[in-house]
Structure 1
Amino acid sequence: SSQVDPSIPDTLIGDATRLTQILVNLIGNAIKFTQQGNVNIEVYNKEQLDGKITVGFKVSDTGIGIDKEKLTEVFERFNQGEDSITRNYGGTGLGLSIVKNLILLQHGNIEVSSEQGKGTTFNFYIPYGISAEQIQNVPALDVNHFKDKNNMPWRVLVVDDNAINQSLMKHLLLQWNVDFDIVANGLEAVNRLREHVYDLILMDIQMPQMDGYTATQQIREVLQLDTPIIAMTAHAMAGEREKCLSRGMNDYISKPIKEEELFKLISSFGLQEHPQQTVENVTVENSFKFIDLDYMRSISGGDVDFEKTVTQQFITNVPKHLQQLKTAYQNNDFATVNMRAHDFKTSIAMLGLLNILAEKLDSIELVSEQNKVTEQIIKDLEYVLMQAVAEAKIFLQQL
């Protein structure tokens, strides 16, 4: 679980990449060392004065804990509570000594409290500047206002290997009257761009054969094209947008894709506003335990054919990809395990499963060796997914 103090300004001045490294390491350790219970992240306003704020971060878990005699040593290089912990759980990512150094470099500090068998809490703070330009609350954009009325001769290339996400993008772009093509990986995108001209590229990051970063590098350096590229990724962490921009992309949107956010991005690159046309929404009552239809309904706008398509893709692909993940885990093929876990985030979002499975998928996406904790997580994942598939079949019959 997580809590963020609403009094913290939306836009701060600081090092997002270092903060991401720190949080990924501390949260990753908390998950790794917590076989049962919970992990909680709290972001709080420690002090605010004259355009500056000290932001506090608290990462707590109910895991194995640390011996009190070892607490003074946890931030020393190459130190871990016990040798048996290294054998059972593996290392601790960057290492807590590097985490502390990253915090000290930003004029912050970190402390730890723990009790064996009950859990551990890392509490650190970093000072930031408050940007003069803050995110403004603006009225929600009515995307229906633009549907079927765009007459711009626009061509968009969608690069994504996930079938459900392909269906989503096809559904949205058709409504906006935009001409588009879809390819399944970066290599296909580069080859397509050698022969065709596009006004915009929507680029997934993790794909087989050639990922989004490599494809963007090819487009910029080999093809010498300045076509705007919007990255699409399930990594919604601080610093991800900056990483995408540094690799030559123009902007970034996190999955699951929200129609309004995507339209705002596309419109910033040239899609124009036109007179309003309304779309009548058709809904089906949601009475399921696992799947949640709210996101699908918000995207479909009552388009039953679209709902049938993505639901059938979910029913077909999820069991197959789950089996691939399990087989890869048994074969110690952790690259495939990590890739499948990442891809699931897009596949399950359409039927509203991300809220209950995101933490499990995050954990599997980082796994690098077999252990009992991961085996239980995979079993839990399988149970939820198969129950969701059963519910999806019922929903499909109702359409």
Structure 2
Amino acid sequence: MTFADEHATFKPNASRWPWFHTLFAVIERQDKGYLLPDADVFVLWNNHTMLHFMLKILQSLLKFPESREAPDFEFSPFGVVHVDAKTGQFKRVNTVFAKLMGRTVAQLLSISWMDLSQLGAATGLSDEIRLFADERNGDPLRMPPVEAWVQKLSTPDGSQVVVEVSFLTRVQGPQDTTLWVLIVKDIASRLEAQTRLQVSEQRHRVLADSARDVIWSMSPMGEITYVSPAVEKLRGVTPAEAMQMPLNETLTPESAAVSMQYFQEVGQALQQGRTPQSFQGELEYYRKDGSTFWTECLSFPLMDSNGGLVEILGVTRDISERKHYEESLRQARIQAEKANMAKTRFLGHISHEIRTPMSAIMALTDLLLRSDIHAQQREWLQQSQDAGHLLLDMINDILDLSKMESGQLVLARQVFDLSTVLQQVSDLVAPACARKGLDFRVVLEAGLPDKWMGDASRLTQALMNLVSNAVKFTDQGHVLVRVERLDRDADWERLRFTVQDSGIGLDPAIQIDVFEGFERADSEQAQRLGGMGLGLTLCKRLARLMGGDVGVESMPEQGASFWFTVRLQVGTDDIHPGAGLTSSGVSDEVLAGRRILVVDDNGSIRDIVRQLLQMGHVQVDTAENGLIALEMLQKASYDLVLMDLQMPVMGGLEATRRIRQIPALHKLPVVALTAGGFASDLDTWKALGLTDYLSKPFDYKKLLAVLNRHLPASSASSTSLQEDA
């Protein structure tokens, strides 16, 4: 006997199970005096193993039609029975079928198929079998098509077993009876699995259909196989329309390119035997009316046990509101940046307008103090100058806080001497301490290095705020400054500056907010001591800018101990300190015989600067704007130019740019006189050729310090811009 088998798999929606078409070509078979015809057998099955068993059974039956000892009859893992085609009587059963029915083989051979079957006695098994024969033109010599059906069979305990019954073949029994060979398979577990699958599919379909997000699936061939109803609300198209739309009508070109890139990566992963990665990203979709909207898309490749791609499951969520919110934030940020820029310009303008008259007041006071006046007048002028410094400190605090809030405050990184910082603070508070009779001391931890890398100007400012507060709130006793090293982290070290006084102290309840803006101990103290409470706020922000923090320990009438920490790097001798931090001495000896051009649109400032310079025997010329200054520079030789920045006709920046275009004036020191400059302006000034700058208001000592930096040698004209301490 020879046979060939061919398998054709249909789509899942065409049939739940594959059909195996097996053609048996019985060339010649004769046994016990009868001839078996050729047979076409259609077997409904779902795996190759059962097909193998069925073929074995068929071979056994062909070889041993009457033998109960046929080896493959009992070998089958499924129930196999011989049933009389007319009476339905069981003529032969295997033990598998007997166990399935809860009976012995002998018990089954004494009853008929109809005793177990729920098909009904009206038609009987033979009638149904003849129906198949009739469909084959009633030819009794040819096999009917093998079909399968599902029915229930009864067991002795009254329960029912759900089975799948298949016609396998027919054989000729004793006394010319026709026996039908049936294969009986228990499918209870399969039906249960099918039920669970159907329930699961229904559950997921309900979830998908009711979800606000669009759920979709795609076949390995790139065909959309499912789109949830939410797509209609999202895009204005039905699920059926969405499934048929090409990619260029679904996604914008940029998003379509992103999608195609992902699918290519999936294909590459499959070719290389890897599991494809999931996708998460933002894609821009088209609506039916042509408008677009943004979505967040998630897709997950679903793989089978063999590593093959089953489908790609995706979820698409509308993020239009989030995009609108992000865009509004972006626009708000742009507006905030514009507002900050406008605020910076406004502060610069206000600073210029305030500092210019302050410069005149303080410079004139300084000139008067240097003149021949009696003691009472000197005391009045000193009080006036102290008030001016207090007002200037308040203005500086307000401007510095504004710069911090707008991100305009930039810390310098230069080597400085800690001893110089402490000396500057001591010099500034010494007069006030002397007038009050306070003992002022500075204590350094033993072995503390003197050279550090950081912003000495801001460190001095933070320390000065604490020290000046201590002097202000202490009427008798002492003010002590202590500097100590806390810890070290790689190249960085943390220093702690503590200012201890014997003043009025603070109530513990107030200490929580004392570093917040505009906070004071109480209204009585505020009226008695004055101030806006900005110094401590500024100290806190400066400390945090320098990687540290602030704190206070105090009790009423028992003094206070304010501290702040900073992170600094130890400096080295091979790095030059910044301008204004060296202790080279301030002397007016270098001024004698020098010629300086003062350019400022304010006549009072020009006169004051001229008088201050003339005290050092300097020849001074003045100009009221940059254009006049250019003309004067081309007619006479000058050692240095003091240039105001904000002037009519031609400002200081434009004038400096033109000065640098004249070869003979390329190295001429040009020092800006500014009342509104911020650290963010330094790079611009340097690029335009300014050598240094002097902040208004200034006194004779500060003016001399700047001139000493740039007049001793012509090479000093290339000095970098540094903020004057």
Scaled to the shorter chain, the TM-score interval is 0.3 to 0.5
Larger Rg: 2
- TM (norm. structure 2) is 0.27
- TM (norm. structure 1) is 0.45
Higher relative CO (Cα under 8 Å, sequence separation at least 6) belongs to 1
